[in-house]
């Protein structure tokens, strides 16, 4: 089952990719984040990379704490549909992307191409 459309995302420029829900899903898939984990992030209101950076601008450690707290909350859920666990590798990948975007936007004032990010 596909939850995103790579063709649609390929037609967007960097600014549109930065604000697009579909592009965030493509990037999360490209770095190896599983569907349950992607859905957890999207259901928590992170519908685009812009949302992540707006909330955690200059606070990459805060994003790491957020992911760690999700593990504490959802890894032991009695409802199997809500169970989600971000492995240390997943957390490192996500934190790395947030750090990269944060640095590119706040230091270089440039938006990187979201579709070029992979493992």
pLDDT the model gives residue 116: 87
pLDDT the model gives residue 99: 95
Q: What is the pTM of this model?
A: 0.85
| Closest to 67 (Cα-Cα) out of 33, 19, 24, 100 | 33
93 domain-assigned? yes
39 domain-assigned? yes
15 domain-assigned? yes
80 domain-assigned? yes
Residue 12: φ, ψ to 5°: -95, 150
pLDDT the model gives residue 13: 85
1 domain-assigned? no
- Its domain, for residue 92, covers 6-116
Number of structural domains in the chain:
1
111 domain-assigned? yes
pLDDT the model gives residue 104: 93
61 domain-assigned? yes
Which residues of the chain are under the pLDDT cut of 50? 1-2
67 domain-assigned? yes
């Amino acid at each position: 089952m596909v939850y995103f459309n790579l063709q649609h995302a390929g037609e967007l420029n960097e600014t549109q990719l930065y604000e697009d829900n579909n592009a965030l899903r493509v990037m999360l898939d490209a770095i190896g984040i599983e569907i349950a984990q992607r859905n957890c992030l999207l259901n928590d209101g992170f519908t685009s990379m812009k949302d992540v950076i707006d909330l955690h601008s200059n606070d990459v450690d805060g994003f790491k704490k957020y992911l760690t707290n999700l593990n504490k909350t959802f890894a032991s859920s009695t409802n199997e549909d809500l169970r989600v666990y971000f492995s240390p590798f997943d957390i490192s990948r996500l934190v790395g992307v947030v750090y990269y975007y944060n640095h590119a936007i706040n230091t270089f004032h440039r938006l990187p191409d979201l579709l070029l990010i992979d493992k």
